[in-house]
A and B are shown apart, each in its own frame.
Chain A
Amino acid sequence: MRIVVVGAGPAGTRAATRAAALPDARVTLIGAEAALPYDRVALSRLLAGEIEVPSLITHDARALRAARIAYRPATRIARIDRAARVLHATDGAMIPYDHLVLALGSEALRLPIPGANLPGVIGYRDLPDVQRMLRMAESRGQAVVIGGGLLGLEAAAGLAHRGMQVTVVHAVDWPMERQLDERAGALLARRMGARGIRFVMPARTTALEGDGHVQVVRLDDGRVLPARLVVMAVGIRPNTALAREAGLDVGRGIRTDARLFTSDAHIQAVGECAEVQGVCVGLVAPALEQAEAAIAALQADAAWAPRPDAAALKVNGTDVWSAGDIAADAEALTLHDEAADEYRRLLVRDDRLVGAVLYGDTRDAGFYLDLIKRGAPLGRMRAALALGPQFMDQAA
């Protein structure tokens, strides 16, 4: 059976390696970039100077050969002929398949504002983006990062580490509002501020201006920030164009069932491009799980279900973790250790843990995730819950 995987990101590569282990499978992995499959999550470490490009590569040519995966880098797919089960590449190549796995990932959003396409305005998505940022950083000038989510903060931290004077413009009162509550966000902003990163929030960017190259960022309150480099990190959008043109059912992402099958019985979708039973994932761990579940479903009755959304992140050297419903209209338990710069917030509804934010010390993440998943009544555990599992035996 010919199994073709489009997209050599983490989910696609994981699907290809799993598929290659199936009996009678011949697997082709198609990557749009020229590089070998690499670890996108580690791009922040490249930006921060912690690693070099070769360390990003997860599967070199020998490993791909050993896994019996045919790898086609720098290949963009223009069209899927579902009736003939053939992929048409932009270079004219035709790639037939018996089974197709789409792992198309997502693209960085660009704000629809004047100057968004000026030279010096960069998304933060792939290796070429980072390489351009690194070249710009050599000038040690001023940089503005638009967007205070995880990617924006990683970019800000990396650029600051490279010697740039960085300002983060964020539309909400505190950074990483999807993962952190207000207090944790404020702690993070304060800690990054201690390293010279300025935050302007809440603020919206209305225009990027410059003569042949971006020079200033104009905000809706009239302020103007000088910038040689602008990184747009305002969100991602699943890559769905190929699927839509092929007539697959597409919503926010490519719609699949729990077994990751699209509306075509010969096509699955995994990772950030997929919308599995209404859920689009944005983190690597569930994307990898989807890839594994998809291939398993080819042989057995496997399924993927959305877990409580746990995010374990490292931002600027600080571990942060969140899971479940953190914006819930629930009762909050908080623990804040000022000197250790540690904070946690636990959200409880109807005597059950429904969400958790850990900042600075994430060692107890597994304990809380388990409690969120099990949904068991807390009872007497509640008083010491924020202190961690070692205090649960005789809660008082």
Chain B
Amino acid sequence: MSTRTTCPYCGVGCGVLARPDAPVQGDPDHPANHGRLCSKGTALAETFALPNRLLHPEVDGRRASWDAALDALADGFRRYAPEEVALYVSGQLLTEDYYAANKLAKGFLGTANIDSNSRLCMASAVAGHRRAFGEDIVPATYADIEAAELVVLVGSNLAWCHPVLFQRLQAARAGKRIVVIDPRRTATCEGADLHLPIAPGGDVALFNALLRHLHAEGFRSDAPGLDAALTAAGGETGLPPEDIARFFAWFAATPRTLTIFSQGANQSSAGSDKANAIINAHLLHGSIGREGGGAFSITGQPNAMGGRETGSLANMLAGHLEWDRPGEADALRDFWCAPRLAPGPGLKAVDLFRAAGAGRIGALWVMATNPAVSMPASDDVRAALARVPMLAVSDCVTDSDTLRMARIRLPALGWGEKDGTVTNSERVISRQRAFLPAPGEARADWWIVSQLAARLGWAEHFAWAGPAAIFREHAAVTGLARPSTRVFDISGLADMTDAEYDAMPPTRWPIARRGEQGGRITPPLMRFVPTPYRPPAHALDAAHPIALNTGRLRDQWHTMTRTGLVPRLMAHRPEPELSMHPDDAPAPDGALVRLASRDGAAVLRLRHDAAQRRGDAFAPMHWTDAYAPAARINAAVNAAHDPVSGQPELKHTPVAVTAFNAGWHGFVLARRKLGVAASWQARVPLAGGVWRHELAGDDAVAARFAALRDTCHEPGATWIVLEDAGTGLHRAVALRDGRLLAAIFLGPDHELPPREWLAGLFALDVIGSANRHALLAGRPADGPPASPTICVCHGISRAAIEAAAACGQSTAAGTGCGSCKPELAAILALMPA
């Protein structure tokens, strides 16, 4: 019997059918995906048994009872004044968890120092909505993607980051134009009608010019603020005028124009202005609220929207109530019976960690997120976390970089264990239901909040029997202080029974009365916001001539605590890579490079990529201490942020990139994860429990080789060893009973054999004698070298796709989840006809 629940990954919010003993299926009845899944969702069942689970509370490094841990937590919060305590929460939390945490902070601890990692994700979109509509309203729905005749993607690699929406877009491709505005030529550009490789930060300039173009073409609007918006300063886009003209002409001529924007727009020091510049254009265009039209923010996290709805950000109250709208704060205070409602906005993420770094935060509880990795200037964030006297972290895994620093560690439930609701990018509230038993002593986050509240003396205000009770309270909050123009209203759900809550189908807000189902929204208030162009906060200069951009990979999620465990998801991009245009590259393809900003540095493997603009570089944001300590890109990302939204500028950091000339480079394949220290390393799980360790260092290579052989040696193992001390080449494989145990390859530079073929040999019961020398060559005697995996569902490599295409045949690649289709198309496009 499958359980109907919701995928824990991106903000698309796909419905899934899950059971403990079978692969996860797409839910055919869910409005977000209608049965579709992407590569990450398809592999969910492979993460049910998360290793490294945090199973018991710990205090000061020792296992503790829940009572002892909660007492310590309560003691920590009791010691400090409201402005000295903070919660840093996550888009991974369920709405009920969010609600509980926000109520505790703003209503009872008396602080608005509660911010969410959504701050890194879509805070600029929220700010844009609030400035334009007076409220955080997403007008469009996914059906508008299908209904649109022109889809404009701004800073959205939809194909990789929201693959199911990309599939929906492709399925409705007929009769549609697609324009992609992105400095990079991403997979999303495959099949697009126009790609505008805009200069980083140039979006406001482009949309200001579009606004003026539309006005010149005769578009008019009664909404206030147009004149100021029309005269806002322009700027450079770096685009050819004819491409701009074509885009403007299409936009003006197509009533059903939908602009999808995402982190490429939001993660900017002008992120709020980007959102408003986009909304301004659509406002004048008249397409907001129109079928197939509007400006559509797609969120990164599964429940970023739930956080916004519950007000779990430092500059919001709850239920879209505002401090500065008369009566709303009072209404909430009364409803909560709050002894000391926070008087005004608190510290947003960047400022929060700066305050911690300055010693102004005494108690900090981090819930379900990993700021030591995900925040910009993350080395500063680590130092700040280290300064917090009472750092508590609740999480489901032990190998989070942040958790390792915590005094109090609280085991939380993970996906499949916890029970509640999430809201996706199109305002659909879906149930996340439990279908796995709670491991160890792990508990729901809302339960931990309620237990803390009880210890602080507020038991009766947090005495929920379960998530349904919390949801009802949350729904009731949305009905406070009415009548009002506030669109967010789910008070129609406030009287649901527990059984109705359990059975609740996907439901889109607003729902003022039971039985309603929300749809497309035309915001009741709309205004133009002038958005004078500002360049990125930190300009390039001679010492930092490259603009670093960061983002997601197709098959990874956030800090890899879940996806990093799935070998086939790691196969797509096993190592942290910095992509640069070949003409900018300071080293050969595949070499290690060091990038340094004013804030920090990271070392990654270089990928020559002509899809990059000259002068730009791209790095994935996923790698952590657990997988590649020196490749934590956020150590180098600048902490500049948007003045309105507080969202960090993760997409633009001036850096210098130089070759990383280690004394030796190498890799080790072994049947377990090795605890090896090296100046650079990346650990990659492979099929069958095998781990790949990419290494580089400056210590003596011969001694390192001997040490690695000792580390990998097992009783009964025999070795084949190839050594060339003159060139620093050292290779060895260990076998036992004909079975491969380990392979160690060290050399003077990055030019080592591909790992895929060797890794595959670990599955064999017997390595034939004919292959013994091939083991040390890293490839079959006369066969082709192994090539990277493109289709993770079917494990099909690039070479296999090319070989089939060369003789007019096709492989099964792309017939699984379909996430690889854009890359497949790009490969086939390069083949001779």
A333 contacts the other chain (CB 8 A) = yes
Q: Is the CB of A339 within 8 A of B722?
A: no
Chain A interface bracket (under 10, 10 to 19, 20 to 34, 35 or more): 20 to 34
- The reply on B726 being an interface residue by CB < 8 A is yes
A331 touches B726 (CB 8 A): yes
B555-599 toward A: CB 8 Å interface, digit per residue (1/0)? 000000000000000000000000000000000000000000000
With the chains together, A348 CA to B727 CA distance in Å? 11
List of A residues within 8 angstroms of B785 by Cβ: 394, 396
Contact: B752 with A336, CB < 8 Å?
Answer: no
A269 within 8 A of B: no
The total number of A-B Cβ pairs within 8 Å is 71
Contact B720 A387 (CB under 8 A): no
CA gap between A340 and B767 in the complex, in Å? 13
Min distance, Cβ B399 to any Cβ of chain A, angstroms: 34
Consensus secondary structure, chain A interface: mixed
Any chain A CB within 8 A of the CB of B676? no
Partner of B782, one of A332, A339, A387, A393: A393
CB interface residues, A 381-395, toward B, < 8 Å: 382-384, 386-388, 390-391, 393-394
For the complex formed, measure the closest distance between the CB of B799 and the CB atoms of chain A, giving whole angstroms.
14
Inter-chain contacts of A340 with B (CB < 8 A):
720, 769, 772
User: What is the CB-to-nearest-CB distance from B730 to chain A, in angstroms, rounded to a whole number?
Assistant: 10
Report if A338-B724 is in contact (Cβ < 8 Å); known contacts: A383-B747, A390-B782. Answer: no
A320-343 Cβ-contact flags toward B at 8 Å (1 or 0): 000000000001111111111000
Shortest CB-to-CB span from A377 to chain B, Å, is 14
Closest residue of chain A to B732 (Cβ to Cβ) is: A336
Which residues of the partner chain B approach A396 to less than 8 Å between Cβ atoms? 751-753, 777-779, 785
> Is the C-beta of B735 less than 8 angstroms from some C-beta in chain A?
yes
A383 to B751 Cα, complex, angstroms: 10
Does residue B718 face the partner (Cβ distance < 8 Å to A)?
yes
A382 touches B720 (CB 8 A): no
B720 touching A336 by the CB < 8 A rule? yes
- Contact between B773 and A388, CB atoms less than 8 A apart: yes
A382 contacts B727, CB within 8 Å? Answer: yes
List B contacts of A383 (CB < 8 A). Answer: 724, 727, 729, 747
CA distance A326 to B772 in the complex (A): 25
Q: Could you tell me the distance between the alpha carbons of A335 and B769 in the complex, rounded to whole angstroms?
A: 15
Residues of A within 8 A of B644 (CB): none
Q: How far is the CB of A24 from chain B (nearest CB, A)?
A: 54
Output the least CB separation between A163 and chain B (Å): 32
Asked if B721 and A334 make an inter-chain contact with CB atoms under 8 angstroms apart, the answer reads yes
Number of interface residues of B (CB under 8 A): 27
Bound state CA distance, A386 and B777, in angstroms? 10
A338 and B719 contacting across the interface, CB-CB below 8 Å: yes
Identify which of residues 125-166 in chain A touch chain B, using a CB-to-CB cut-off of 8 Å.
none
List, in ascending order, chain A residues with CB within 8 A of B726's CB.
331-333, 348
Q: Return the contact of B723 from the options A333, A337, A384, A394 (Cβ within 8 A).
A: A333
By a CB distance below 8 angstroms, the chain B residues around A382 are 724, 727
Considering only residues 761-794 of chain B, those with a C-beta below 8 Å from chain A are 769, 772-774, 776-779, 781-782, 785
User: With A348-B726, A396-B752 known to touch, is A339 a contact of B721 (CB < 8 Å)?
Assistant: no
A387 touches B776 (CB 8 A): yes
Is residue B725 within 8 Å, beta carbon to beta carbon, of the partner chain? yes
Q: B721 — nearest CB in chain A belongs to which residue?
A: A336
A202-232: CB near B (< 8 Å → 1, else 0) gives 0000000000000000000000000000000
With a 10 A CB-CB cut-off, give which of B722, B725, B753, B785 has the most chain A CB atoms. Answer: B722
Query: Which of B735, B776, B782 contacts A335 (CB under 8 A)?
Result: B776
Residue on A with the closest CB to B733?
Answer: A337
CA distance A203 to B720 in the complex (A): 32
Residue ID in chain B nearest A348 by CB atoms: B726
Q: Please, how many angstroms separate the alpha-carbon atoms of A127 and B777 in the complex?
A: 47
Contact assessment for A390 and B721 in the assembled complex, using a CB-CB cutoff below 8 Å: no
Q: Within the complex, what minimum Cβ distance (angstroms) separates A186 from chain B?
A: 15
Residues of chain A contacted by B729 (CB below 8 angstroms): 383
- Cβ-defined contact, A335 with B720, below 8 A: yes
The reply to whether B722 and A331 form a contact with Cβ atoms under 8 Å apart is no
Chain B contacts with A in 707-722, Cβ cutoff 8 A: 718-722
Q: List 21 A-B contacts (CB under 8 A).
A: A331-B724, A332-B724, A332-B726, A334-B721, A334-B723, A335-B721, A335-B722, A336-B719, A337-B720, A337-B772, A338-B718, A338-B721, A339-B735, A340-B720, A382-B727, A383-B727, A388-B773, A390-B782, A391-B779, A394-B779, A396-B753
The 5 lowest CB-CB distance pairs between A and B, nearest first, are A331-B726, A339-B718, A390-B781, A338-B718, A333-B724
- Starting from the known contacts A338-B721, A396-B751, A396-B752, 4 additional A-B residue pairs (CB-CB under 8 Å) come to A332-B725, A339-B720, A382-B727, A384-B776
